[in-house]
Amino acid sequence: MDLAKHIGSLLIIGFPGPTLEREMEICRDIAEHGLGGVILFNRCLHTPSQPANVISFKQLKELCTSLQHLADETLLIGVDQEGGMVRRLRPEAGFADICSARRMGAETGHTTLTREQAESTAAMLAALGINCNFAPVVDLDTNPSNPVIGAIERSFSEDPAVVARHAAAWIEAHRSRGVLSCVKHFPGHGSSTADSHLGFVDISDTWKRYELEPYRLLLQESSVDMVMSGHLFNRHLDPDHPATLSSIIIDGLLRTELGFDGVVVSDDLQMKAISDHYSFAESVCRSLAAGVDMLVFGNNLDYDPDICPRAINAIEAGINRGILSEARLHAALDRVKRLKQRLVNDHD
């Protein structure tokens, strides 16, 4: 296998604009570099005056169709559609209203509302041609004032069993429509006091091992399509690196101890928790070496039109320098291939 031709399939990249033009870099990345996936946004944070990807149902469906037609193999088209505060497809643009995870999880004895909301969400995504939802959040609501989880109602509950039960219902509804789900943010963002979008997040003094319990319960039921790593530093787990860049946490804790052999996807590597502390090349190579399979560059906090070829070059250089093994890359490629084959089979 010529690895250089396949490295692009390990990347998920965002781009501005509601339509595709032939000269756009994202078109080049899909057609020439074999880009593995895209992530869609409803706002351009780097240039607020510029239109993002989401305007209307008809426009977005046409965009997703155009993106998929560019790809030789199935393209992951992903979005953060959790419900509540975090939803890129919003009612003001004509999309279904989805309530927050906290409201869904308030029904602790059953998952009726969660199933209804998840089925509505999955049906909408499938109709648009979006095949990957970066949800549900399985972080525990242990710190209600947490600015990025508790304070904006992204967690189902502080009870791991309740979180796992509602997450399983969410995932099942998406699977029935052929849409992948992604549980996040491993090993647990619920107890944090800061936002990893904005800078370094240390959970060493707040994180507890029972924050792993939703993952353990879901993995026992084979209810996990993908796991997203959080850019979370815990010196008790790894004294040197945050989870996304830690082989102790990804390869050791998630893969070996918990037994997950599916696709691990990074949170956005342009978030300040990573970009302020590691060079581009180091973050790319360290995350892959740690056991992450697909790297996300939202290209939304900052925009780099050439981030795809830059990442591919960094990965090739990492292999040549011996800091990233070909075996590790082959393992990632195999996992991504299996995941995409499931999409094809579900669609058939």
For 86-95, what is each residue's pLDDT tens digit?
A: 999 999 999 9
Tell me, what amino acid is at 5?
K
Q: What is the mean pLDDT of the chain?
A: 95
Q: Tokens standing for 149?
A: 């989880």
Interval 289-340: pLDDT, tens: 999 999 999 999 999 999 999 999 999 999 999 999 999 999 999 999 999 9
The answer to whether residues 195 and 149 touch, using CB atoms and an 8 Å cutoff, is no
pLDDT tens, residue by residue, 241-252? 999 999 999 999
Structure tokens that stand for 49 in this block: 């005056």
Residue 198 has pLDDT above 80, yes or no: no
Tell me the one-letter amino acid at 181. S
Cβ contact 87:81 at 8 Å:
yes
Q: With bands split at pLDDT 50, 70 and 90, how would you rate the model's confidence at 148? A: very high
Q: Does domain 3-347 have CATH number 3.20.20.300?
A: yes
Rounded-to-integer distance, Cα 138 and Cα 50, Å? 33
Measured at the alpha carbon of residue 89, what is the angle toward residues 244 and 268, in degrees to the nearest 5?
A: 15
**In the predicted structure, residue 348 carries a pLDDT above the cut 80:** no
Of the pLDDT bands very low, low, confident and very high (cuts 50, 70, 90), residue 153 is: very high
3-class DSSP string for the chain = CCHHHCHHHHEEECCCCCCCCCCCHHHHHHHHHCCCEEECCCCCCCCCCCCCCCCCHHHHHHHHHHHHHHCCCCCEEEECEEECCEECCCHHHCCCCCCCHHHHHCCCCCCHHHHHHHHHHHHHHHHHCCCEECCCECCCCCCCCCCCCHHHCCCCCCCHHHHHHHHHHHHHHHHCCCCEEEEEEECCCCCCCCCCCCCCCECCCCCCHHHHHHHHHHHHCCCCCEEEECCCECCCCCCCCCHHHCCHHHHHHHHHHCCCCCEEEEEECCCHHHHCCCCHHHHHHHHHHHCCCEEEECCCCCCCCCHHHHHHHHHHHHHHCCCCCHHHHHHHHHHHHHHHHHHHHHHC
- Give 197's pLDDT tier (boundaries 50, 70, 90): confident
pTM of the shown model: 0.96
Between residues 107 and 111, the one the model is more confident about? 111
Residue 1 is predicted with a pLDDT of 59
Share of the chain above pLDDT 90, in %: 91
> Which are the catalytic amino acids?
197, 267
Q: What's the mean pLDDT in 86-112?
A: 94
Dihedral angle of Cα 318, 319, 322, 325, to the nearest 10 degrees: 120
The pLDDT of residue 109 is 84
Residue 114 has pLDDT above 90, yes or no: yes
pLDDT higher than 60, residue 38: yes
Residue 259, number of CB atoms within 10 A of its CB: 11
pLDDT at residue 65 in the model = 98
pLDDT, one tens digit per residue, over 291-302 is 999 999 999 999
For the chain, domain boundaries: 3-347
pLDDT value of residue 226: 98
Contact 88, 81 (CB under 8 A): yes
| Average pLDDT of the segment spanning 263-280 | 94
End-to-end CA distance of the chain: 28
Q: Supply the angle between the helices 307-320 and 326-347 in degrees, to the nearest 10.
A: 140
- Whether omega before 136 lies within 30 degrees of 0, making that bond cis, reads yes
Q: Are 190 and 160 in contact (CB under 8 A)?
A: no
Model confidence band, residue 344 (pLDDT cutoffs 50, 70, 90): confident
pLDDT at 199 over 80: no
Give the model confidence (pLDDT) of 55-67 as tens digits: 999 999 999 999 9
pLDDT at 43 over 60: yes
Which amino acid makes up residue 221? E
